[in-house]
Amino acid sequence: MIIYSVEIFDKQNEELVLEVEIPQSKLKGVAAIMGWGSDDEDAFVKGIAGFNVSQKQALDLENLLGEKFYSDDVIVQIAGGEIA
C-alpha cells in the first residue's frame, strides 16, 4: 500500500516538522494543483516520485486537504511511499 503525503520541513535545519496524509480520493485534485502531466502523475501514484511545492500550490493543497501547514519558514514537498 502506498501512502501519499505533504511533507513540511523547517527551512533552517531541514528537519521534518509535519506530515499531512493525502487521501487516495484526493489524488486527482492534487495532480490538478501540481499541474502534472500524465507521466508525473503516474510516477507519483506509483510512489516513485517526489516534488517541490510552490507557495501557491501549498495554499491550494491546504484548501483541498482542509489542513493549514504553509508558512514562510518551511519547505513543502509532496511524495508517495510504501508502508511495510
- Residue 36 phi/psi, 5-degree rounding, is -75, 145
Per the structure block, which three cell numbers stand in for 73? 519558514
Give per-residue pLDDT as tens, 31-66: 999 999 999 999 998 888 899 999 999 999 999 999
Q: What is the mean pLDDT of the chain?
A: 93
Q: Are strands 16-22 and 50-52 parallel, antiparallel or unpaired?
A: unpaired
pLDDT at 84 over 60: no
Architecture of domain 2-82: Roll (3.10)
Per the structure block, which three cell numbers stand in for 68? 493549514
Write down the pLDDT at residue 8: 97
Q: Do residues 7 and 77 lie in contact, with contact meaning Cβ atoms separated by under 8 Å?
A: yes
What is the model's pTM?
A: 0.91
